[in-house]
Amino acid sequence: MTSSLPPEYYQELEEIQAVDFVLVELTLYLDTHPDDANAINQFNQYAQYKKQIQSNFEAKYGPLFQYGNSYSDENWGWGKGPWPWQV
């Protein structure tokens, strides 16, 4: 697939994926260590960061998720590509 997307698209998408990985790992850790306040703080910080970078990404390139997990402006953009799994 030939893409006309800027390099920043891939860098920002990779950052979102990296933060998702951290959140999954922290979730797994917290499942077995639910009283670890430091881990809970880290989880909350990464969750907030994820919202921020996801919102910035979607404002530039369109929604990442469907079914109410991503907002849409007045121009419905879900059908426009590429979709995250196509890159």
Domain range for 26: 7-61
The mean of the pLDDT values for the chain is 83
Tell me the one-letter amino acid at 75.
Answer: N
> Does any domain span residue 77?
no
Residue 12 CA to residue 73 CA, distance in Å, equals 21
Asked whether residue 28 carries a pLDDT value surpassing 80, the answer given is yes
> Does any domain span residue 30?
yes
Looking at the 3D structure of the chain, how many domains does it have? 1
Residue 42 CA to residue 6 CA, distance in Å, equals 31
> Does any domain span residue 66?
no
> Does any domain span residue 87?
no
pTM of the predicted protein model: 0.74
pLDDT of residue 67: 56
